Structure 1
């Protein structure tokens, strides 16, 4: 019972087969052209959106690239400063160290958890005990430097000064009261 309008009109004799075919062709052509124009509109809108999104993405990529470049420049500047500080510290220690190649005694000190030693004279041992000398380490070599130099070096690169008894005077107050009567002698060799 579901005859199409075309079939009903043909049965009634109101239209001929050719007219029906022609009407059907025009309907299909109209539908096809409507789809084409709609597709063109969609493509045009998509092209506009694509151009906008491409320009947005390009601008965003440029911003990200600029941010990465700034961060990289900042890191390079920090590395350059570190190298400059290290070279300054090396120069200071090379010029100011007072290591004696003819030292006859050994001075033991703690570096991190390890006991290390350096060759010193008796006078240098006394200066170390009075905090007038300090021990610095560069490339696993130990250097004796005056206290003023040690403070300069410690301000720039703190980990390079491995033994500096600058807090020896204030340390007595921190000790237990039972040991205050028994001070450690300056000339103690262990």
Structure 2
């Protein structure tokens, strides 16, 4: 089935889908948005049901006062 499908999501859900915190799965003839942990369990049993599961990324804290500063190489371990 090569048709384009649409699923309504709000901004928060879209951001979580993008960051990998949520996934889209095929279920009962439709599509559902579920948490990543549940999608991983489904993926173990039936990988064809996973429609979209992005690689999880670290969320950057918007209030982090040090976000603009790079860590010197000698401090990384």
Q: Say which structure, 1 or 2, has more relative contact order (CA 8 Å, 6+ apart).
A: 2
- Return the TM-score normalized by structure 1: 0.28
Find the counterpart in structure 1 of residue 11 from structure 2. Answer: 122
1:5-28 residue CA offsets vs partner (Å, 9 max, x unmatched): xxxxxxxxxxxxxxxxxxxxxxxx
Which residue of 26, 29, 52 maps to 1:137? Answer: 26
- TM alignment of 1:100-111, pairs within 5 A: none
Find the counterpart in structure 2 of residue 158 from structure 1. Answer: 47
Query: CA separation in 1, counterparts of 2:56 and 2:5?
Result: 20
Find the counterpart in structure 2 of residue 146 from structure 1. Answer: 35
SS of residue matched to 2:4: strand
Query: CA separation in 2, counterparts of 1:113 and 1:131?
Result: 23
1:167 offset after TM fit, Å? 7.4
Q: Which has the higher strand share?
A: 2
Alpha-carbon contact 2:20-2:55 (below 8 Å) kept: yes
1:27-71 residue CA offsets vs partner (Å, 9 max, x unmatched): xxxxxxxxxxxxxxxxxxxxxxxxxxxxxxxxxxxxxxxxxxxxx
1:113 offset after TM fit, Å? 3.0
Q: After the TM superposition, which segments of 4 or more aligned residues of structure 1 sit over 2 Å from their partners?
A: none
Greater Rg by CA: 1
Q: Which has the higher helix share?
A: 1
Q: 1:115 to 1:167 in 2, by over 3 A?
A: farther
SS of residue matched to 1:119: coil
Q: 1:167 to 1:146 in 2, by over 3 A?
A: closer
Aligned residue pairs, count? 58
Query: CA separation in 2, counterparts of 1:127 and 1:167?
Result: 9
